[in-house]
Amino acid sequence: MTLVEIFAVAVALAMDAFAVSVAAAVSLPAVTWRHCFRLSFHFGLFQFLMPVIGWGLGMSVYEFIEHWDHWIAFAMLTLVGLGMLKEARNGSGEEQREGDITRGFLLVMLSVATSIDAMAVGLSLAMIGVSVWGPAVFIGVVCAVLTLTGIALGRLVGRSATLGSKASVLGALVLFGIGLKILHEHGVF
């Protein structure tokens, strides 16, 4: 694989993480450097790890995962989105942010959901006899950079519009949309 091909794959894989980071930045009352670090580090790390995991898996295991990976990603995104809707309905403000998607289990769920397709890339690399380590590092770094770009864009959107509690609703809708896109890409509808 050439560097251009790896870059194209990395950008394509990072688009879900980019969209989630935009939604996260819009839904947060204030974006701090910790939010930026947590999102970019975790999304980049998982985008690095998933090709490595895919590389390590055999075809028999992948065939099982292939039939369910899109449903797993959809379920995770839906759960996080429902949590954001609940937070918006309850009128959570800055002082009550247990629904902060840049922390804890929510962050891990989003990291897995936005990177699960990268597992197939790792498997493909193994099948064509290409080492996974260089591409995996590159994919992770590109994802981290695009995540930071998404956060910056989300901050601009959040500042330009007075979204208030509607920001969590907007973020939830984005997550639902990404989940539906994943299902559509896998031929569910």
pLDDT single digits (tens) 103-157: 899 899 999 999 988 888 888 888 777 889 999 999 999 999 999 999 999 988 8
How many Cα atoms sit within 13 Å of 21 on the Cβ side?
Answer: 28
Look up the pTM and report it: 0.78
Among 28-37, 57-66, 116-125, 127-136, which is the least confidently predicted range?
57-66
Q: Kindly state the percentage of the chain with pLDDT values over 70.
A: 85
Q: Which residue has the higher pLDDT, 72 or 9?
A: 9
Evaluate if residue 28 carries a pLDDT over 70: yes
